[in-house]
Amino acid sequence: MQNATQICGALNPHCNCQVHSRCDATAGTGACLSGSLKANQQQEKTRALGGGANSSSLVLKHSRSGAATADPQPANNNSKAVPTYTINLDLPADERWAKVAAVFAPQIKAVVAVVKARIPKLALPLLEPIGDDLEAYLPAPYAAEVASIAAIAGVTPAELFLMNVYYDVTTACTSIVAAHANGTVFHGRNLDYGIPGLQGLTADVVFEAGGAVAYRGTTYVGYVGLLTGLRPGAFSVSIDERDTPGGKVWENAAEAFLKGGHSIGLFLRSLLQDHTTLDEAIGVVQSAHLDAVRTTPIRYLLALSRSSSYPPLLLYLYLFPTQLTPPLVATQPAYIIMGGTGGQGAIVTRERESTADTWMIDAAAGRWFLVETNDDHWEPPQDIRRDAANKHMNATTPAALTQGFMFGVQSAFPNLNAETTYTTVMSVDGGVYYTVTRNN
């Protein structure tokens, strides 16, 4: 598979761009655009907002949760190829990440501090017993992986657990899956986060078992789940956040784990590890009960009473005033975007405990690509990203589709914006997987 240092030249022999420039998303030739990426993005923003040369309007809309949402701002022109590391799944879980964690220890510590600063101080004591009993909240082998990374990075297991939870509930993204006329499927994704420092934690990770590549993905080192990944010969997958009513970020995070929830990133990693065809993976995504009880309220409250100076029952009732016994909940709702071979692709829209919709590529009906930002595709978009991506994709044809074109679409404002941390382009039957960080 190609790596990120080969992006522009390998994508198209006519393109002489460097990684910090973008290929023309409307030409299909990979021709380089002159001038800075930032200037090009500002012009595109003006067009996308429907304004003239002096337009500076900011469109405010409302999400399905009722909160006001602002259209994204342009990115800077700094992009870098990410490093690639190998994780040997044949090693014990507490040894797999040792070398990688040592490289990224300072960055992990810095990002943990940022995330902790965003959590209400009254909620922080809730984390203390979790760190002493990770196996009750994370399935094997992920608890051992988190504990070992935490020890190497110089943070507590509870703090690294918090980092993993926070990633699960704060994403914004653009994912596109598209089929070439010959059946080759290209899958592009941008992952957006408002957390500084994540670019320095981003890596492509190859998971090997028995001396062969089992699957690969892009992650922030310290986060043991995957939000983007590919199983060779089978399928590619990315996850976009689905905005639903109810709760602030930290409240949703607490609900998802303290009440027995399941990490969507861990679900995705297990999906890549355990399933060998796209059809099988779609079936699992559609039908799996993502919720799973890992501990009981009594066990948790007893642990809290041993580790916290707060009266545990009062603290619990303060944070969850409407119920004493936590019900089962699934992970946060999500859009799961998948690409396969032979022109296959799908977007599964998940509720917490069920599937709301499955949207498939259907080239015979003229639907050769699917775009997902963070909206239900049957509803009006919340911001300008979906319409812009559709416009770019409609500027080419299935016969002219290339990985360079897909990279170009994901490099154009507003899908590339000020909060984009990385862009990945992948293809199962095209043998493609590469990532660059953005806004460095």
CB atoms within 10 A of CB 366: 7
**Alpha-carbon distance 259 to 251, whole Å?**
11
The continuous run of DSSP H or E covering 319 comes out as: helix 312-319
Beta bridge partners of 336: 239, 348
Establish whether 32 is a catalytic residue.
no
- DSSP secondary structure string for all residues of 102-168: HHHHHHHHHHHHHHHHTS-GGGGGGGHHHHH-GGGTS-TTHHHHHHHHHHHHTS-HHHHHHHHHHHH
Taking every pair of C-alpha atoms in the chain, what is the biggest distance, in angstroms? 67
Torsion 279-285-289-290 (CA) sign: positive
The continuous run of DSSP H or E covering 305 comes out as: helix 297-307
Q: Check whether the bond before 414 is cis (ω within 30° of 0).
A: yes
Catalytic residue among 15, 17, 23, 173: 173
Whether 266 and 142 have beta carbons less than 8 Å apart is answered as: yes
Whether 47 and 386 have beta carbons less than 8 Å apart is answered as: no
**Alpha-carbon distance 189 to 251, whole Å?**
27
Count of alpha carbons within 13 angstroms of residue 333, beta-carbon side: 19
**Alpha-carbon distance 178 to 241, whole Å?**
20
The 10 Å CB-count burial string (b at 16+, else e) for 82-98 is bbbbebeeeeebbebbe
Task: Please give the single-letter amino acid code of residue 13.
Answer: P
**What is the β-pairing status of strands 202-209 and 60-62?**
unpaired
**Helices vs strands, H then E, count in the chain:** 13, 16
Helix, strand or coil, per DSSP, at residue 220: strand
Torsion 71-7-269-110 (CA) sign: negative
**Burial of 245 by CB count in 10 Å (0-12 exposed, 13-18 middle, 19+ buried)?**
exposed
CA dihedral 220, 169, 287, 226 (to 10 degrees): 0
In the chain the first and final C-alpha atoms are separated, in Å, by: 25
As annotated, the active-site residues are 173
